[in-house]
Amino acid sequence: MENINLIDTFSEFKELKNIDRATMISVLEDSFRSVLIKRFGTDENFDVIINDDKGDFEIWRNREVVADEDLEDANLQISLTEANKIDSDYELGEEVTDEVKFLDFGRRAILSLRQNLSARILELEKDNIYHKYKDRIGEIVTGEVYQIWKREILIIDDENNELILPKAEQIPSDFFRKGDTVRGVVVKVDIRNNNPLILLSRTSPVFLERLFELEVPEIYDGLITIKKIVRVPGERAKVAVESYDERIDPVGACVGMKGSRIHGIVRELRNENIDVINYTSNVQLFIQRALNPAKIINIKLVEETGRAEVYLRPEEVSLAIGKGGLNIRLAGQLTGYELDVYREADEDDEDVTLDEFSDEIDSWVLDELKAIGCDTAKSVLDLSEEDLVKRTDLEEETIRDLRKILSAEFE
C-alpha cells in the first residue's frame, strides 16, 4: 500500500507540473537508490523497476551463492543453505535474484525516501520553470494579479508560476487590483535565493513591439519591419516602420482603418500617444518625419558632433518641441541626432533673446517660456495670452506684465 501511495503522490505532481514520464521514472529510481546506498552501502547489485502504468514498483537484489563458511557480505553474497531454501537447484557460483520489500526497511527509510523525492521534485520544477521562461524572454505573457506590494506586483500565470512586475516596469498610470488580468513582456529570468525570478515589464520598447505584432498581421508576417521604437511610458512613443512591399503603406497598415489597429495598443498602454513614422535612410527626411506635426523649413546636419540644426517658423517651434520637450527628445532618440531648434526669421526682422530681459523678468518665468520653445521676445509675442496660459504654469497677470515689458522693446 505504501508503494502505491508513493507512486500516486508523484503522479499527481507530474500532472500539475507537466513533468514528462522519463524524467519522473529517473527521479523516482534515483530516490530509491539513494535509500539503498544508505542502507547497504551500494546499489550496484540492485534492480529498481518502476511500473508507472500499474502504479507500483519492485526492488530486486542479485547475490552470488557461496559456501556457508565463505559468507563475508550478506548484501552481495548468499550462503548455499539460504539459496536452497529459495530454490533447491541453486549451486555454488550462481546468482540468486530475490525481491526486497521496501516496507521492511521501516518507517524511517520511507520518510527519508519521501523527503528526498520531494526535494528532487521541487528542484526539478524550479529548473523547468527557469528554462521555460529563459526561452520566452521577449515574449508577452498574461497573468492574474495575486499580491500587490509597494515595490512590485506578484502575478500568477496559467500554470500557477509566480511572475514579478516591479514598480519601475509599470506604466506610471497603471493601477491594478487583486484578480485583474495583466499583460507584460518577459525581460529577465534569474535565480534568487535558489528560486526562479521572472521579471515582466510594461515600459520596455519590446512590449510595444510585441503589441504591434499582435495587432498588425503584416508585421507578424514580416511584410512590415519595425526599425526602432523609443518611448516615455504612458506619455508618448515614436515607432519607425518600413515596408518591403511597395504596395503596402506601413503607417496606414499599423494605424488601421480609422485607427482600429492602434486603438487597442493605445488603450493597453494607458492612452500613450503613439506616432508611427515611415522609416527612410534619408536622414533629413527622417528627422522631418520624426518632428511631425511641426513643419520644417530647413535642416543642417553636423556629422562631426552628431547634431542637427532644425530651422522652423516661430509658430512651429512649440509644436516641434512638444509638451515638456517630449517631442523633440523622442525624435532625437529615434533619429540618433541631437536636435537643435532655430527660428527662421527675415534678415531685417530684429528680435531680442529673452536672456536680455533677465533684469526685468524673474529667471523662473523665463525658464517657463523657454520650456515651451520661446527663447526670443517676438516668439512670445507671437502667441496669444490664452495660448501662454494653456502652455505654461504662469498666471494671467504675470503673462500680461511680461508681454508689456517685451512689447516696450519694439515701440
Q: Mention every residue, 6+ apart, whose C-beta is less than 8 A from residue 175.
A: none
Domain that holds residue 184: 136-201
Torsion 67-72-73-76 (CA) sign: negative
Q: Among 230, 262, 279, where does a domain finish?
A: 279
26 and 50 belong to one structural domain:
yes
Asked whether residue 170 falls in the same domain as residue 66, the answer is no
Residues 117 and 24 grouped into a single domain: yes
* Residue 100 lies inside a defined structural domain of this protein: yes
Q: Which of 239, 259, 279 is the last residue of a domain?
A: 279
How far is 233 from 171, CA to CA, in rounded Å? 6
Higher-confidence position of 382 and 254: 254
Is 386 within a domain?
yes
pTM equals: 0.68
In-domain check, residue 217: no
Nearest residue to 22 (alpha-carbon basis) of 52, 48, 2: 52
The pLDDT, as a whole number, for residue 13 is 52
324 assigned to some structural domain:
no
Return the pLDDT at 4.
44
Residues 193 and 251 in one domain: no
Residues 149, 69: one domain?
A: no
Looking at the domain assignment, is residue 325 inside a domain? no
**Spatial separation of the C-alpha atoms in residues 4 and 389, rounded to whole Å:** 79
The length of the chain is 411
**Residue 340: which H helix or E strand, with range?**
strand 338-343
Compute the distance between CA of residue 400 and CA of residue 366 in angstroms, rounded to an integer.
14
**Are residues 66 and 43 part of one domain?**
yes
Poorest-pLDDT segment among 22-31, 187-196, 257-266? 22-31
- Alpha-carbon gap, residue 132 to 327, rounded angstroms: 39
Q: Measure the CA–CA gap between 170 and 185, rounded to whole angstroms.
A: 11
Q: Which of 124, 154, 186 is the last residue of a domain?
A: 124
| Helical pair 205-215 and 260-268, crossing angle rounded to 10 deg | 150
Look at residue 403 and tell me if it is in a domain: yes
Tens digits of residue pLDDT in 33-66: 888 888 888 888 888 887 766 656 788 889 988 8
For residue 317, give the C-alpha cell.
517651434
Considering its fold, how many domains does the chain have in total?
A: 4
Considering the domain architecture, whether residues 113 and 145 belong to the same structural domain is answered as no
Are 109 and 66 contained in the same domain?
A: yes
Rounded average pLDDT over 78-89: 86
**Phi then psi for 82, rounded to 5 degrees?**
-65, -35
CATH of the domain at 153: 2.40.50.140
